[in-house]
Structure 1
Amino acid sequence: MFHKEGYKIMGIAVILLIVVNLLAQTFIYTYWIKIAILIGTVLLFFLIIQFFRNPKRNTEINTSHILAPVDGKVVVIEEVFEKEYFNDKRLMVSVFMSPINVHVTRHPIGGVVKYSKYHPGKYLVAWHPKASEENERTTVVVENEVVGEILYRQIAGALAKRIVNYAKVGEEVVQGSDSGFIKFGSRVDVFLPLGTEIDVKLNQKVKGGISLIAKVS
């Protein structure tokens, strides 16, 4: 199953790769070169389509749990000052997505969307200290009656040039449901209230909509 954001790119890729192979068959007379081009284009197409995988996730809804918004590896757990929305200190958990991870962003909690904003910006590598504030990014805040307001931020990296965000202020969202997509990956930061019980460790691998990253007692 593939994400809808990938259909256009995959379609264009198919056409271009077919054209490349037709040209190779027409103008190249060395057999092994033709085979090498064929194998190379097939591998390239496989690499492209794996970016847009959208596996079904059976999220266990729990209003006191904060789930991982994306697949990847936990690279940061620290107290930071969040200045865009809360303007106070928060616990930040960052999940980095490699090119081979699923790139769908999912709502870490269910509730009402209180804030949703896109910011154009740079394309620093995702682990750069200033990426959270200077890169292309979107910020979304969802609130429910148990955990309060949870902010998560999609951050583009050196490869990602487009972030898709479906969250609209005022709408009610379901925990684990599709919130957006980062084409070709990057990272997502989750900002939690101080004192929140963290359930992940650095370098731990997590799955979006499945893995518990924190909970409220």
Structure 2
Amino acid sequence: MASIDKPPLGTSTVKWRFPEIHPEGRKYALIAGAIALASLFIWDFITWPLVFLTVGVAAFFRDPVRVTPQEEGLIVSPADGLVTMIERVPVPPELAGPQALGNAPLLRVSVFMSVFDVHINRTPITGTVRHVIYISGKFMNADFDKASEENERQHVLVEDRHGLRVGFTQIAGLVARRIVSFVKAGDMVVAGQRIGLIRFGSRVDVFLPEGYGCTVALGQRAIAGETILAKKGAPAATGISQ
């Protein structure tokens, strides 16, 4: 039997690679590329700007591989972006009640995604999707606090095997015009799994259960599926901008 060569102890087999383009965005990249190609025969002076636009569209829909922590009692970030708000607020009506997050105010962590961030959203915990509630609305700047009540948004509630429920809200922004969901009520998901995307700039709010300490600070950048937003029993995090 032929022997199998193994890498020497301590040798890493992890290599950098270009992120793939999510299938949801491939058609847009192809359309932009086709227009850029056609411009060569019509208005060649705009070809290069259109080429840059094509690259930008492809980059917007990039879908990098993420490594999600597997420790119990963790809530990971559902979005890439900047932590812009950490405050205790009333639970949205769609996520309130005994079958959801209850009626008491909860700590909300808001992650703002610019057009330069990855826009694939991921589930913060492993469990069963209990609710997916879409609400049409306005398209004001997602960084405004009132965007959580007036913008187009989608609420998702996930419950783990111990009965812990975590709710989060995808909020469309000034440029974002569509929230795309990859899951539905009843689906089983694992922490860090892709659950949807928001096109072209937006925000995700996560409502932390009681007993979970926020482990990120205002101004910190979060990475979907990797950054730990909260941990059971952990003290609140503080940070210094530098």
TM-score (norm 2): 0.82
1:84 is the counterpart of 2:94: yes
1:19 is the counterpart of 2:38: yes
In the alignment, residue 31 of structure 2 is paired with which amino acid? I
CA RMSD in angstroms comes to 1.4
In the alignment, residue 27 of structure 2 is paired with which amino acid? K
Aligned 8 A contact 1:64 1:147 in 2: no
Aligned 8 A contact 1:140 1:167 in 2: no
**2:79 counterpart residue number:** 70
Name the stretch that deviates more: 174-183 or 185-194: 185-194
Q: How does 1:148-167 map to 2 (within 5 A)?
A: 148-167=164-183
1:56 is the counterpart of 2:75: no
| Among 197, 200, 216, the residue aligned to 2:216 | 200
| Among 139, 142, 147, the residue aligned to 1:123 | 139
Q: What CA distance in whole angstroms lies between the structure 2 residues aligned with 1:140 and 1:78?
A: 19
Deviation sequence 1:168-206 (CA, Å, 0-9, x none): 111210110101011112110001123421100000001
Change (3 A) 1:147 1:61: farther
Q: What CA distance in whole angstroms lies between the structure 1 residues aligned with 2:47 and 2:150?
A: 40
Q: What CA distance in whole angstroms lies between the structure 1 residues aligned with 2:27 and 2:52?
A: 19
**5+ long unaligned stretches in structure 2:** 1-19, 97-102, 234-242
Deviation sequence 1:6-31 (CA, Å, 0-9, x none): 01111111112222232024xxxxxx
Aligned 8 A contact 1:64 1:146 in 2: no
1:98 is the counterpart of 2:108: no
**5+ long unaligned stretches in structure 1:** 26-33
Whose helix fraction is larger, Structure 1's or Structure 2's? 1
TM-score (norm 1): 0.91
